């Protein structure tokens, strides 16, 4: 292979990559806020005793879990304005698409954690005179969040990685800026190698935290 590597040409133009990384972080944080809050609500609804509530929510969750994220992103960007005459900014659309996708996966994590809440704790809440909303707020929610933290963190970092898909609809995230820089410098190998290392540098510490939490849970459980 007769190729001369030149990473310096990328580092000399690193400013746009920093800007793109900041957009990616904002997109990820906003999507995680949507996914964490909406996911818990979906988990409660999918466990409803009423089929008229449970079935539509279950279909919503399965749709977002069983279709590619890239299709969901493209659908939001191109189909929502055409069908509903709603025109939002590209960043907002990206947050909605990634947030709803994350909410569907988080809902399953929450549901498993909610079902693992000991019945004795719920009975104690009833004995203390707590109403259903109070039992959810003071008993179910804290326990479910605590038990599902490793999965929620894994899903969150997955959203950070999937956020690169919004580059195809012109959101100026890290991937978009990297594609632009690779075109301008004619250095795609160096540019995308550096982008991959940036994603790794952010994702790897979180994955180690997840592993540590899981090992701690195993120790406590034993």
Residue 185 has pLDDT above 70, yes or no: yes
Least confident of 32-36, 142-146, 204-208: 142-146
Domain 13-221 - what CATH class?
mainly alpha
- As a whole number of angstroms, the distance between CA 140 and CA 136 comes to 5
Residue 222 has pLDDT above 70, yes or no: no
Residue 204 pLDDT: 94
The per-residue DSSP string of 150-188 comes to: HHHHHHHHHHHHHGGGGGGGT--SHHHHHHHHHHHHT-H
Buried b (16+ CB within 10 A) or exposed e, 161-177: ebbbbbbebebbbbbbb
Residue 220 pLDDT: 66
Residue 2 pLDDT: 72
Q: What global pTM score does this model have?
A: 0.89
Question: What are the residue ranges spanned by the domains of the chain?
Answer: 13-221
List pLDDT tens digits, range 145-166.
888 888 999 999 999 999 999 9
The SS3 call for residue 127 is helix
């Amino acid at each position: 292979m007769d190729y001369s590597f030149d990473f310096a040409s990328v580092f000399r133009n690193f400013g746009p990559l920093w800007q793109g990384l900041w957009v990616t972080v904002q997109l990820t944080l906003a999507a995680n806020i949507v996914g964490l809050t909406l996911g818990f609500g979906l988990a409660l609804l999918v466990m409803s005793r009423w089929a008229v509530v449970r079935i539509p929510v279950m279909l919503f969750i399965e749709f977002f879990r069983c279709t590619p994220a890239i299709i969901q992103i493209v659908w939001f960007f191109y189909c929502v304005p055409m069908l509903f005459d709603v025109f939002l900014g590209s960043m907002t659309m990206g947050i909605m698409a990634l947030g709803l996708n994350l909410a569907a996966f988080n809902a399953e994590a929450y549901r498993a954690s909610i079902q693992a809440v000991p019945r004795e704790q719920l009975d104690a809440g009833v004995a203390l005179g707590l109403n259903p909303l109070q039992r959810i707020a003071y008993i179910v929610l804290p326990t479910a969040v605590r038990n599902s933290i490793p999965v929620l963190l894994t899903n969150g970092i997955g959203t950070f990685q999937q956020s690169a898909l919004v580059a195809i609809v012109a959101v100026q995230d890290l991937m978009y800026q990297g594609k632009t820089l690779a075109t301008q410098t004619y250095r795609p190998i160096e540019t995308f190698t550096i982008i991959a290392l940036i994603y790794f540098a952010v994702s790897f510490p979180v994955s180690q935290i997840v592993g540590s939490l899981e090992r701690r849970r195993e120790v406590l459980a034993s």
